[in-house]
Structure 1
Amino acid sequence: MERSAPDYKKIYTDIIFRKCPEKYGLCDFILQKETLSVLDVIKLNQLIFDVEDQQIAQFNQKQRSYDEASILEILEFQERNGYNNTELADEFKLSRNSVAKWKKIFKSKAQTN
Protein backbone atom coordinates (compact mmCIF):
# COMPACT_ATOMS: atom_id res chain seq x y z
CA MET A 1 0.00 0.00 0.00
CA GLU A 2 1.40 3.39 -1.03
CA ARG A 3 1.48 6.13 1.59
CA SER A 4 0.31 9.55 0.57
CA ALA A 5 1.92 12.76 1.71
CA PRO A 6 0.27 14.78 4.45
CA ASP A 7 -2.05 17.56 3.32
CA TYR A 8 0.15 20.39 4.60
CA LYS A 9 -2.14 23.00 3.11
CA LYS A 10 -5.05 21.84 5.27
CA ILE A 11 -2.85 21.28 8.32
CA TYR A 12 -1.37 24.78 8.25
CA THR A 13 -4.69 26.43 7.39
CA ASP A 14 -6.25 24.76 10.44
CA ILE A 15 -3.33 25.78 12.67
CA ILE A 16 -3.56 29.39 11.53
CA PHE A 17 -7.33 29.68 11.99
CA ARG A 18 -7.32 27.96 15.40
CA LYS A 19 -4.19 29.39 17.01
CA CYS A 20 -3.21 32.61 15.27
CA PRO A 21 -5.77 33.92 12.74
CA GLU A 22 -3.99 37.30 12.70
CA LYS A 23 -1.11 35.66 10.78
CA TYR A 24 -3.28 34.47 7.89
CA GLY A 25 -2.37 37.54 5.83
CA LEU A 26 1.32 36.67 6.13
CA CYS A 27 0.77 33.10 4.96
CA ASP A 28 -1.99 33.63 2.40
CA PHE A 29 0.35 33.81 -0.62
CA ILE A 30 1.81 30.40 0.22
CA LEU A 31 -1.50 28.73 1.09
CA GLN A 32 -2.99 29.76 -2.27
CA LYS A 33 -0.57 27.46 -4.11
CA GLU A 34 -1.98 24.24 -5.55
CA THR A 35 0.58 22.09 -3.72
CA LEU A 36 3.12 23.00 -1.09
CA SER A 37 6.78 22.08 -1.39
CA VAL A 38 8.99 21.32 1.58
CA LEU A 39 10.40 24.83 1.28
CA ASP A 40 6.87 26.25 1.52
CA VAL A 41 6.25 24.21 4.66
CA ILE A 42 9.50 25.48 6.20
CA LYS A 43 8.55 29.08 5.37
CA LEU A 44 5.05 28.61 6.86
CA ASN A 45 6.59 27.17 10.00
CA GLN A 46 8.85 30.21 10.32
CA LEU A 47 5.98 32.65 9.74
CA ILE A 48 3.55 30.99 12.16
CA PHE A 49 5.83 29.89 14.96
CA ASP A 50 8.38 32.44 16.05
CA VAL A 51 10.83 29.74 17.07
CA GLU A 52 13.46 31.36 19.21
CA ASP A 53 14.10 28.52 21.61
CA GLN A 54 17.23 26.76 20.37
CA GLN A 55 16.20 23.34 21.74
CA ILE A 56 12.84 23.46 19.95
CA ALA A 57 14.53 24.54 16.73
CA GLN A 58 17.05 21.69 16.97
CA PHE A 59 14.28 19.14 17.64
CA ASN A 60 12.26 20.39 14.67
CA GLN A 61 15.31 20.20 12.42
CA LYS A 62 15.87 16.55 13.32
CA GLN A 63 12.30 15.76 12.25
CA ARG A 64 12.68 17.12 8.72
CA SER A 65 13.08 14.92 5.72
CA TYR A 66 13.49 15.96 2.13
CA ASP A 67 12.28 14.28 -1.03
CA GLU A 68 14.21 14.44 -4.28
CA ALA A 69 12.18 17.37 -5.64
CA SER A 70 12.85 19.41 -2.49
CA ILE A 71 16.55 18.64 -2.56
CA LEU A 72 16.77 19.70 -6.19
CA GLU A 73 14.86 22.90 -5.36
CA ILE A 74 17.33 23.67 -2.55
CA LEU A 75 20.30 22.99 -4.82
CA GLU A 76 18.79 25.21 -7.53
CA PHE A 77 18.34 27.94 -4.90
CA GLN A 78 22.04 27.60 -4.12
CA GLU A 79 22.99 27.95 -7.78
CA ARG A 80 20.67 30.92 -8.41
CA ASN A 81 21.98 32.83 -5.40
CA GLY A 82 25.64 31.86 -5.72
CA TYR A 83 25.78 30.37 -2.22
CA ASN A 84 28.54 28.05 -1.14
CA ASN A 85 27.68 24.93 0.88
CA THR A 86 28.15 26.69 4.22
CA GLU A 87 25.88 29.60 3.28
CA LEU A 88 23.21 27.23 1.98
CA ALA A 89 23.42 25.10 5.13
CA ASP A 90 22.98 28.21 7.27
CA GLU A 91 20.05 29.46 5.18
CA PHE A 92 18.08 26.21 5.49
CA LYS A 93 19.51 25.08 8.84
CA LEU A 94 21.09 22.01 7.30
CA SER A 95 24.33 20.20 7.86
CA ARG A 96 27.14 21.11 5.45
CA ASN A 97 27.70 17.36 5.12
CA SER A 98 24.10 16.89 3.95
CA VAL A 99 24.51 19.56 1.29
CA ALA A 100 27.78 18.03 0.08
CA LYS A 101 26.22 14.56 -0.01
CA TRP A 102 23.19 15.81 -1.95
CA LYS A 103 25.41 17.54 -4.48
CA LYS A 104 27.49 14.41 -4.93
CA ILE A 105 24.42 12.15 -5.36
CA PHE A 106 22.46 14.43 -7.67
CA LYS A 107 25.45 15.51 -9.72
CA SER A 108 26.24 11.86 -10.47
CA LYS A 109 22.58 11.19 -11.31
CA ALA A 110 22.53 14.13 -13.73
CA GLN A 111 25.66 12.85 -15.46
CA THR A 112 24.20 9.37 -15.96
CA ASN A 113 20.96 10.68 -17.49
Structure 2
Amino acid sequence: MKKSTIQYRRIFLDILDKKYPEKKEICRDLLVKENLSVLDIIALNTKIFGSPDAQTLAFNQSHRSYTRSSVLQILDFQKENQLNNSQVARHFKLSRHTVAKWKKKYQV
Protein backbone atom coordinates (compact mmCIF):
# COMPACT_ATOMS: atom_id res chain seq x y z
CA MET A 1 0.00 0.00 0.00
CA LYS A 2 1.41 3.35 -1.03
CA LYS A 3 1.77 6.03 1.62
CA SER A 4 0.02 9.21 0.55
CA THR A 5 1.88 12.47 0.79
CA ILE A 6 0.32 15.85 1.18
CA GLN A 7 1.25 18.25 -1.59
CA TYR A 8 1.55 21.42 0.46
CA ARG A 9 3.03 23.44 -2.39
CA ARG A 10 0.01 22.70 -4.56
CA ILE A 11 -2.41 23.49 -1.73
CA PHE A 12 -0.77 26.82 -0.95
CA LEU A 13 -0.54 27.77 -4.63
CA ASP A 14 -4.27 27.07 -5.05
CA ILE A 15 -5.09 29.18 -1.99
CA LEU A 16 -2.91 32.02 -3.26
CA ASP A 17 -4.37 31.87 -6.78
CA LYS A 18 -7.98 31.82 -5.63
CA LYS A 19 -8.07 33.92 -2.46
CA TYR A 20 -4.85 35.87 -1.91
CA PRO A 21 -3.14 36.63 -5.25
CA GLU A 22 -1.61 39.77 -3.74
CA LYS A 23 0.40 37.64 -1.27
CA LYS A 24 1.92 35.37 -3.93
CA GLU A 25 5.09 37.45 -4.25
CA ILE A 26 5.93 37.40 -0.52
CA CYS A 27 5.56 33.60 -0.50
CA ARG A 28 7.55 32.96 -3.65
CA ASP A 29 10.88 32.25 -1.88
CA LEU A 30 9.33 29.37 0.07
CA LEU A 31 7.22 28.00 -2.77
CA VAL A 32 10.20 27.53 -5.11
CA LYS A 33 11.88 25.09 -2.70
CA GLU A 34 12.05 21.48 -3.84
CA ASN A 35 10.93 20.10 -0.45
CA LEU A 36 8.96 22.06 2.11
CA SER A 37 9.87 21.38 5.72
CA VAL A 38 7.45 21.67 8.61
CA LEU A 39 9.00 25.04 9.44
CA ASP A 40 8.46 26.24 5.85
CA ILE A 41 4.80 25.21 6.02
CA ILE A 42 4.32 27.10 9.29
CA ALA A 43 6.01 30.17 7.77
CA LEU A 44 3.81 30.02 4.66
CA ASN A 45 0.69 29.66 6.75
CA THR A 46 1.64 32.72 8.81
CA LYS A 47 2.48 34.80 5.72
CA ILE A 48 -0.82 33.97 4.07
CA PHE A 49 -3.27 33.95 6.97
CA GLY A 50 -1.47 36.09 9.57
CA SER A 51 -1.15 35.27 13.23
CA PRO A 52 -3.98 33.17 14.65
CA ASP A 53 -6.11 34.30 17.58
CA ALA A 54 -5.51 32.78 21.03
CA GLN A 55 -8.19 30.09 20.71
CA THR A 56 -6.96 28.90 17.32
CA LEU A 57 -3.36 28.98 18.50
CA ALA A 58 -4.18 26.81 21.53
CA PHE A 59 -6.06 24.29 19.37
CA ASN A 60 -3.30 24.09 16.77
CA GLN A 61 -0.60 23.78 19.41
CA SER A 62 -2.20 20.71 20.92
CA HIS A 63 -2.35 19.00 17.52
CA ARG A 64 1.19 19.57 16.25
CA SER A 65 3.55 16.74 15.53
CA TYR A 66 7.16 16.94 14.45
CA THR A 67 9.21 14.62 12.30
CA ARG A 68 12.77 13.74 13.16
CA SER A 69 14.05 16.10 10.46
CA SER A 70 11.98 19.03 11.71
CA VAL A 71 13.15 18.42 15.28
CA LEU A 72 16.74 18.43 14.07
CA GLN A 73 16.09 21.69 12.17
CA ILE A 74 14.78 23.29 15.35
CA LEU A 75 17.80 22.08 17.31
CA ASP A 76 20.13 23.36 14.57
CA PHE A 77 18.35 26.72 14.73
CA GLN A 78 19.03 26.74 18.46
CA LYS A 79 22.75 26.07 17.92
CA GLU A 80 23.15 28.61 15.11
CA ASN A 81 21.49 31.37 17.09
CA GLN A 82 23.04 30.34 20.43
CA LEU A 83 19.69 30.14 22.21
CA ASN A 84 18.93 28.36 25.44
CA ASN A 85 16.01 25.92 25.73
CA SER A 86 13.60 28.57 27.01
CA GLN A 87 14.38 30.96 24.16
CA VAL A 88 13.97 28.36 21.42
CA ALA A 89 10.78 27.08 23.08
CA ARG A 90 9.30 30.59 23.06
CA HIS A 91 10.33 31.15 19.44
CA PHE A 92 8.64 27.96 18.20
CA LYS A 93 5.84 28.02 20.81
CA LEU A 94 6.94 24.79 22.46
CA SER A 95 7.49 23.64 26.00
CA ARG A 96 11.06 24.00 27.22
CA HIS A 97 10.71 20.46 28.54
CA THR A 98 9.99 19.29 24.99
CA VAL A 99 13.16 20.96 23.74
CA ALA A 100 15.19 19.36 26.55
CA LYS A 101 13.65 15.95 25.79
CA TRP A 102 14.53 16.31 22.10
CA LYS A 103 18.09 17.29 22.92
CA LYS A 104 18.46 14.27 25.16
CA LYS A 105 16.85 11.92 22.63
CA TYR A 106 18.91 13.13 19.67
CA GLN A 107 22.02 13.86 21.79
CA VAL A 108 22.68 17.25 20.28
TM-score of the pair, normalised by structure 2: 0.92
Aligned to 1:98: 98
1:2 CA displacement: 4.7
Aligned to 1:27: 27
Aligned to 2:77: 77
CA 1:63–1:16 in 2, change beyond 3 Å: closer, same or farther? farther
1:8-23 equivalent positions in 2, closer than 5 A? 8-23=8-23
1:54 CA displacement: 0.7
**Equivalent position amino acid for 2:8 in 1:** Y
Unpaired segments of 5 or more residues in structure 1?
Answer: none
1:43-62 equivalent positions in 2, closer than 5 A? 43-62=43-62
**Equivalent position amino acid for 1:70 in 2:** S
Instruction: Provide the secondary structure at the position in 2 that maps to 1:73.
Output: helix
1:97 and 1:5 mapped to 2: Cα distance?
A: 30
**Equivalent position amino acid for 2:56 in 1:** I
1:35 CA displacement: 0.8
**Equivalent position amino acid for 2:84 in 1:** N
Unpaired segments of 5 or more residues in structure 2?
Answer: none
Instruction: Provide the secondary structure at the position in 2 that maps to 1:91.
Output: helix
Task: Decide which moves more: 79-88 or 11-20.
Answer: 11-20
2:35 and 2:4 mapped to 1: Cα distance?
A: 13
Q: Percent of pairs identical after alignment?
A: 49
TM-score of the pair, normalised by structure 1: 0.88
1:30 CA displacement: 0.2
1:2 and 1:61 mapped to 2: Cα distance?
A: 29
1:4 and 1:101 mapped to 2: Cα distance?
A: 29
2:13 and 2:58 mapped to 1: Cα distance?
A: 24
